[in-house]
Structure 1
């Protein structure tokens, strides 16, 4: 059965925008059925493969599978040019963010920009485990991020130094996102920005007292509520604050169970004199998600698009219980690996308290002192109800939960001085974090003798702690930069950054019968680089025309992960750690880019070319079972990446904007990999999980009080295995929506006192109801053949919203 229809609307739009050239582009990469296998050689039958999981909740799976799996959290590469000088920073505007369904992850708005791929299994993109961001081939853990000046870390599932960006600020409170696509953002508070940086800038409290209420309804009983109150100016100097509450509750689009999230935001702005200010931001988030099933091509082809874990379905626990005993539903008859398709549940829980105070003091004319002091606490869980472990009471299922508790404190501080034709700044960032991580096991009941463990609710005492680790880290960065303006239309930037990070790890528990080792990794590692240079230039040589270049070197500090949770030296056994601790090196890259932009009231265009030379690429290679997986971390050398983006925006009529962009990325592995005597021929293969080609188009039309929009995305095929024998098929997906500023219209017609800021929205996600694979590689990628490590995208979804301010 073919799982996709032709993207008719997208094809028409692409032909219109690219004047026929688009047709040739797509003909060479025609979409395939989701279960299609791309192979130039015979690979082992799925039944003989050995499942392994890396960087996820549980390491390893079936005893019968024989596939080496690589964690790609640190090995996916790319670059885009950093445009550090005047007018060169990419910005995701408030209009773009708020055009989406309320509560949607703002990264979905970013994904309409060239070279950016954001995938998710839920239509709002809120899943912490089930969503993934790439910017020009770099994965989210290689992109530095801050919210209101507060660093939010590497975006890993079990992050030690931050939190998921969607849980850091309510999307309705975002003013914009500032995007730097290169490696040279010296001032960003991050130790991982190999592939760029994102700064989430929230809106300030309004000067006028106001209340805002928004309500959204949608498919799968979605219920999204947003309430915000702005105090208005409380003093003559403009002291003011806002407080908001957001609640998002929905059933899953397949399977059973709920996905729930709530947030409280608070922001206080305190102006001091004419040119100084203090602001305080606080965010509380509560995230409880029953996740979708990690799928394989076997389970997709033979179990169907709507195959899912049993939780929340009629007699779900009974089905999971019987499946763990080898009695599977009749609908599973064609699935080769039935047990891996028979988990009872998978879930994510995260509670965060994060806040900080930002200061901007004018010390003298043209001299400012800026910085942020912040703190963050987090409690997180990631769980599977596994058919591969038994409970002490004899039940063939057990709940395995990785529990993470994190505390962070830090500050940034910088001096900024403008003199003559120079903008000079120097600054530092310091952060300390401490983390406790435990892998606990909880008893599930015998059939008919109690309720199963609620993975997102209150937990009983665990019957075992399989392993436990403690981490402590001190991170320090410093930078110095100068932007020189020799002419009004020329800017030259020179700067450098220094990085120093030390991480210490200790063991708090180790069940040898589970881990298979006498000791976990205990010790410390240091990542340091005193001089990481950055040079860029910008020349506005004619009216509306601009040329720029950017060259930068950067480093990502050694990854931090607990036992078998990622490509980290601490993810290994104690013996393995001792062997590599003095030789393992951090990942580094050199980034080169050049670009041209044209901007006028009618047309905007851009062409952007880049290259990245990447060194010390780290991979975690894992094989084995869920009971006793075997993992190693390897430095597999360097890779060169080349690519180009091109974009065009046409505004032929008042209120009408038509945009189109294409991205091409050529990033191949430079050498083969040998592991346990087996050589895997990956040299020359495109990197996994990121497409070589993407195309995006968007139409927005505003007439009077009505706005309509339509967007389409073509995602090229992606390598699913490292050898490239199995690929994720290409696909089209389209979205559409409209907004009516009803309050304005009714006031004009009736002269009533109805609030002017009253609007209704209607949005359709996945307009053509395409069936496609969204996230891939969340559990790592197999060297060859199939593996249970992707999610499918949501089918067509409908949303309606009403919002009013008064």
Structure 2
């Protein structure tokens, strides 16, 4: 895009965003550089609904981290409400500078396509928590956590704090080479009542949400809520659907001296059909609406036998271009109990206990494995399961100008996974039907493998936030990390797998991972900040040949043995510095950063995505230099305008030696992340009506390590409006909203290389298309 077109986009969107509640960011523990909450007075009992604060509801985009020693931005509950109910918080975060999010569906609920980057780091290299509960690395088929959309109903999110450069030392994550995303659940209201909402939209989408608030049950303020959400919607192309049920509950017991005991619970169940992966050849020969055959079993059966629809005969690989169906089915339980105890006016003790259980299965109807009865296809089933639990505990002592914080985090986790094949019926003797209706145990004819992983995580941290003067604050500390992981393979079929499966133990450890940051308020409204940190990521886990993450265990036993003694965990040094300006009329942020990434592990694939040759390789160092700038203008009451620009130049430091020779990767851009992003949002509120429009421009993204293939950039717009009717009949408040996703109906490529990157363009570089224009309407009522 030329500079003239970029300037035109900037002018059109004017400098977009919404009025940030700066106190929300500055009150955040992360923003202050310490997790310790200052001892607060006991919560006052509320006897009537809180009136709308001045400017509330006008927030569109960013809350800048006023007073933070690192670059901190975030989203508030008011900003979440601009999106369609049920939208993933990660999609909303994509409005922030340096954050890049993609999904094949408009909600961000389709997990296989959920892809997030921040300053070039993928979601598996970031840290995620919910009320201090670790959510793992957010990769698909997660082994140590839970997807954000399954961990909490989006309507129950109270806010999100984002550290783009490096997460705070005390964030419970073993993967945050880059920043951290800390989600806070909404606290129960002091007033008895509740909310019900109904959403309708494109693709027969129907979403129902209901929350009941107990209000204060006694003079101490004991209270709770229970919430339920149900989503049903068809895929925007092809057959199949996305269905989920979810329950959240939260209990709060205020204690003496401003202390509290909080309990959060989440249950979720999802059934999702897959969108078919695309390649450049399939996009140009069939078009963006290429889809799987479901529910047409006859077409899938014939294709497995070599008889293809006319459209697929134009492709370079009609056998692989479509299948009967692929699905994901999961049930999760997540719970956390947090005691935040102010022992004295200067000593705080905070402890969180948590547990998480996951079970389910994924299906894929494969023409590469025939059934014993003679059918040319079968159903491949994978069964991941998680059982993990742990605790965090930390003390914060405020003495003189210091806030000294020390704590430990321990987690023990089990991850199991198996791969099975079940028989498909002969043509005319039935169909495979709906693969989400249950695990077909009675039809399993082969077990490719079963694996059992275990991991033990121990992290200690110590930090001091020193307020040297009224306007100068320094935070310094370190963490020590030990993660020991390994697996056993009780069952494997060499005839199916072609090789022995990797098994063994690896340890990622570092006794000293330091971080130093500072904030200097040198003039009223003006402040400078900088941060330097050293980070390490533990080795991820996953089953054999799953093509999900760069894990040593996805390879053969021979490859694992050949690399285990020399394989090192990924580490980096992150340097950032910036400037903030904060006033009632303007909020501005500018930052520069550099990242020196060592021992980068990459999932290298070749051949077709269905039966790839997969290896995990240390591709050496990566150097990233970047800049970000954001500005929010509030020229008149009710209007806010936000613009952000970000640039990242992320390249490999050396060439890579492979079995086929030297790959010329030195100086080449890291795939999947755009170099340039522009984001804008305009929000206007007048009386009970508010409306917004937002837009995002992304430059092209590389698909291969040698940069010989890329997907083009694009500009995407969204629109929304909402009207608050106030009290209507028995309801305390009634709200109607309308949203349009992809306002201009842009055809674009969303998720890229979900099956791993190739070194060169070999016609097997996969991606997923983004959803076309979608319409959604919601009516909600408070009682």
SS state at 1:395 partner: coil
Q: Gaps spanning 5+ residues in structure 1: where?
A: 20-80
The corresponding residue for 1:391 is: 371
Q: Is 1:502–2:478 an aligned residue pair?
A: no
Bigger shift: residues 606-615 or 86-95: 86-95
Matches of 1:214 and 1:143, distance apart in 2:
33
> 1:305 and 1:623, CA in 2 relative to 1: closer, same or farther beyond 3 A?
closer
The corresponding residue for 1:59 is: none
Matches of 2:713 and 2:563, distance apart in 1:
39
Give matches, 1:356-375, under 5 Å. Answer: 356-375=336-355
Shift of 1:123: 0.7
Matches of 2:440 and 2:150, distance apart in 1:
26
Give matches, 1:476-491, under 5 Å. Answer: 476-491=458-473
Shift of 1:338: 1.0
> 1:172 and 1:436, CA in 2 relative to 1: closer, same or farther beyond 3 A?
same
Q: CA offsets per residue over residues 373-422 of structure 1, 9 Å max, x none?
A: 01100013233211222111111111112111110010000001111001
Shift of 1:11: 7.8
Give matches, 1:59-70, under 5 Å. Answer: none
Matches of 1:527 and 1:230, distance apart in 2:
45
SS state at 2:435 partner: coil
The corresponding residue for 1:459 is: 439
SS state at 1:300 partner: helix
SS state at 1:364 partner: coil
Q: Is 1:681–2:681 an aligned residue pair?
A: no
> 1:714 and 1:132, CA in 2 relative to 1: closer, same or farther beyond 3 A?
same
The corresponding residue for 2:430 is: 450
Contact 1:514 1:628 in 2 (8 A): no
SS state at 1:339 partner: coil
Q: CA offsets per residue over residues 324-362 of structure 1, 9 Å max, x none?
A: 111111122321111111211111121100101001112
Contact 1:476 1:501 in 2 (8 A): yes
The corresponding residue for 1:717 is: 700
Contact 1:405 1:435 in 2 (8 A): yes
Shift of 1:365: 2.4
Bigger shift: residues 792-801 or 328-337: 328-337
Contact 1:612 1:641 in 2 (8 A): yes
Q: Is 1:794–2:771 an aligned residue pair?
A: yes
Q: CA offsets per residue over residues 77-119 of structure 1, 9 Å max, x none?
A: xxxx999946953221111111100001111111001011110
Matches of 1:169 and 1:740, distance apart in 2:
26
Q: CA offsets per residue over residues 583-604 of structure 1, 9 Å max, x none?
A: 2100000000000011111111
> 1:628 and 1:773, CA in 2 relative to 1: closer, same or farther beyond 3 A?
closer
Bigger shift: residues 556-565 or 299-308: 556-565
Matches of 2:655 and 2:5, distance apart in 1:
42
Work out the number of aligned pairs and report it. 729
Give matches, 1:198-217, under 5 Å. Answer: 198-217=181-200
Contact 2:594 2:623 in 1 (8 A): yes
Give matches, 1:364-763, under 5 Å. Answer: 364-452=344-432, 454-461=434-441, 462-517=444-499, 519-565=500-546, 566-623=549-606, 629-743=612-726, 753=729, 755-763=731-739
Give matches, 1:275-294, under 5 Å. Answer: 275-294=258-277
SS state at 2:357 partner: strand
Shift of 1:655: 0.3
The corresponding residue for 1:244 is: 227
The corresponding residue for 1:55 is: none
Matches of 1:439 and 1:394, distance apart in 2:
21
Q: Gaps spanning 5+ residues in structure 2: where?
A: 16-63
The corresponding residue for 2:52 is: none
The corresponding residue for 1:62 is: none
Contact 1:83 1:536 in 2 (8 A): no
Equivalent of 2:10 in 14, 25, 31? 14
Q: Is 1:771–2:752 an aligned residue pair?
A: no
The corresponding residue for 1:163 is: 146
SS state at 2:79 partner: helix
Contact 1:324 1:342 in 2 (8 A): no
Shift of 1:521: 2.1
Bigger shift: residues 221-230 or 85-94: 85-94
The corresponding residue for 1:57 is: none
SS state at 1:167 partner: helix
Bigger shift: residues 579-588 or 404-413: 579-588
Contact 1:122 1:794 in 2 (8 A): yes
SS state at 1:456 partner: helix
Matches of 1:473 and 1:690, distance apart in 2:
31
The corresponding residue for 2:333 is: 353
Matches of 2:213 and 2:7, distance apart in 1:
45
Shift of 1:10: 9.2
Contact 1:453 1:459 in 2 (8 A): no
Equivalent of 1:142 in 115, 125, 133? 125
SS state at 2:652 partner: coil
> 1:793 and 1:760, CA in 2 relative to 1: closer, same or farther beyond 3 A?
same
Shift of 1:180: 1.4
SS state at 2:136 partner: coil
The corresponding residue for 1:65 is: none
Q: Which of the pair has the greater relative contact order for Cα pairs under 8 Å at 6+ separation?
A: 1
> 1:674 and 1:436, CA in 2 relative to 1: closer, same or farther beyond 3 A?
same
> 1:792 and 1:643, CA in 2 relative to 1: closer, same or farther beyond 3 A?
same
Contact 1:389 1:396 in 2 (8 A): yes
Contact 2:71 2:578 in 1 (8 A): no
SS state at 1:129 partner: helix
The corresponding residue for 1:35 is: none
Shift of 1:613: 0.3
Q: Is 1:117–2:100 an aligned residue pair?
A: yes
SS state at 2:561 partner: helix
Shift of 1:453: 5.2
SS state at 1:341 partner: coil
Shift of 1:9: 12
Contact 2:276 2:322 in 1 (8 A): no
Contact 1:668 1:687 in 2 (8 A): yes
> 1:228 and 1:184, CA in 2 relative to 1: closer, same or farther beyond 3 A?
closer
Shift of 1:754: 5.4
Q: CA offsets per residue over residues 711-764 of structure 1, 9 Å max, x none?
A: 000011000111111111111110001000012xxx6xxxx7553421000000
Matches of 2:125 and 2:414, distance apart in 1:
21
Matches of 1:551 and 1:508, distance apart in 2:
45
